[in-house]
């Protein structure tokens, strides 16, 4: 049977990481992988996470399954983190399950949508995280795109986005990035979120909000603004969230899928379907990451420490944006790169051609995705001059 298979190309980002590791150039720079790195280029374990893990090690007394829903404490605390004091919690219209990372949450959401309507259409931004397409198609959904990023002007194509969403059908789903858009770094303003929420209400499509970077843009509350506004406007919604970035729990694979229904009864029905989806994909979620998160969120001391560490990561990313813009200008580049400083989150498009990106890799050992999407966290004081000068040379 295996003889009928043909080799598939490697994931472009994972393949890029492998090339970077094999490179022996001491000046090499990895701007491809989407993980936070400190000034030394290391993805360290947060201090609050270390403390929570010690607590778990001291108190855990069983390794028994935790059930398809996952940890109820984690689910409750994640719902509060996502929705704050929103009326959907007070009205008991939400249900949350623990998932294996944000990707697991997206797959659960996709399978749930397919259970509601087999072969449903989901609209995603152009561009978006490349794995969105694969996850949704694997669940049987039909994927279409709406305009989002204006490559020429390095800004948001909001008029194109708004016009496209007005043409979406009422029984379609629309994926929206809550904050720190991956890969463009271009986020919706509060006023733009209000317009999108109004369209969602009028058209009746199902919003699916992907929030992988809460706290990495402007702050925990600020980054949830659009999501909560949308919840004000529609009767049904799905939110997929991740603890990989803001808690640094990449390898623990912990996320959440939250469903908002019209009322408590509908929420219970939707939850039963979601749990059936979970049971058929991975049966039970992992427990360790959820235990760490709930320990931090339920402890005043650890929660305060997490706020500090999260702000340090956010401030470093934002300062890296300004630093790179200044260094590129100092290297003699006349092209305007100021858009980098106006974007949010981990990523930005440099606006280079695929040939220039390849030249950076071949001649200067600088690795980024072929679209010139770069991870801002890979920039450091020790490499930014070399990076800026190399960009100037390929330009």
Taking the C-alpha atoms of residue 42 and residue 28, their distance in angstroms, rounded to an integer, is 14
What span, in angstroms and rounded, lies between the C-alpha atoms of 115 and 108?
Answer: 10
CA quadruple 183, 188, 193, 195: dihedral, nearest 10: -110
Q: State yes or no: is 117 an active-site residue.
A: no
Whole-angstrom distance, CA of residue 390 vs CA of residue 327: 11
**Would you call 193 a catalytic residue per the annotation?**
no
- First-to-last C-alpha distance (Å) of the chain: 50
Instruction: Spell out a b/e string for 288-300, using b for 16 or more CB atoms within 10 Å of the CB, else e.
Output: ebbbbbbbbbebe
Active site residue 129: yes
Question: Which residues sit opposite 85 in a β-bridge?
Answer: none
Among candidate residues 245, 306, 327, 344, the one labeled active-site is 245
Q: List the catalytic residue out of 28, 30, 37, 129.
A: 129
Contacts of 101 (CB under 8 A, 6+ apart): 242, 244, 253, 254, 255
Q: Which of 157, 172, 210, 223 is catalytic?
A: 210
**Cis bond before residue 55 (omega within 30° of 0):** no
Active-site residue numbers? Answer: 129, 210, 245
């Amino acid at each position: 049977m295996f003889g009928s298979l043909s080799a598939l190309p490697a994931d472009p980002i994972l393949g890029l990481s492998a090339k970077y590791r094999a490179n022996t150039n001491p000046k090499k720079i990895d701007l491809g992988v989407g993980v936070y790195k400190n000034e030394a280029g290391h993805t360290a374990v947060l201090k609050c996470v270390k403390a929570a893990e010690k607590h778990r090690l001291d108190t855990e007394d069983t390794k028994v399954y935790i059930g398809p829903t996952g940890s109820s404490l984690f689910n409750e605390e994640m719902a509060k983190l996502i929705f704050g004091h929103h009326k959907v919690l007070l009205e008991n219209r939400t249900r949350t399950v623990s998932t294996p990372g944000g990707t697991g949450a997206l797959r659960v959401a996709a399978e749930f949508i397919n259970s509601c309507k087999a072969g449903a259409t989901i609209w995603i931004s152009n561009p978006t995280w490349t794995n969105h397409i694969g996850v949704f198609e694997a669940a049987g959904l039909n994927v279409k795109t709406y305009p989002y990023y204006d490559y020429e002007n390095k800004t948001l194509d909001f008029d194109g986005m708004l016009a496209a969403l007005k043409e979406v059908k009422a029984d379609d789903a629309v994926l929206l990035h809550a904050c720190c858009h991956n890969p463009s770094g271009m986020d919706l303003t509060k006023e733009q979120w209000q317009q999108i929420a109004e369209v969602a209400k009028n058209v009746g499509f199902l919003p699916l909000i992907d929030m992988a970077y809460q706290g990495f843009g402007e702050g925990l509350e600020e980054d949830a603004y659009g999501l909560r506004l949308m919840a004000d406007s529609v009767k049904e919604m799905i939110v997929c969230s991740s603890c990989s970035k803001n808690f640094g729990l990449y390898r623990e694979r912990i996320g959440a899928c939250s469903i908002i229904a019209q009322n408590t009864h509908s929420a219970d029905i939707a939850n039963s379907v979601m749990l059936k989806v979970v049971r058929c994909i991975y049966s039970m979620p992992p427990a360790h990451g959820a235990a760490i998160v709930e320990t931090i969120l339920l402890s005043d001391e650890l929660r305060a420490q997490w706020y500090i560490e999260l702000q340090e990561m956010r401030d470093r990313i934002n300062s890296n944006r300004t630093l790179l813009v200044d260094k590129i200008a100092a290297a003699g580049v006349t092209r305007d790169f100021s858009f980098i400083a106006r974007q949010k989150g981990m990523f930005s498009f440099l606006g280079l051609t695929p040939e220039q990106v390849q030249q950076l890799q071949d001649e200067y050992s600088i690795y980024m995705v072929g679209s010139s999407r770069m991870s801002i966290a890979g920039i450091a004081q020790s490499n930014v001059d070399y990076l800026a000068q190399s960009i100037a040379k390929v330009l």
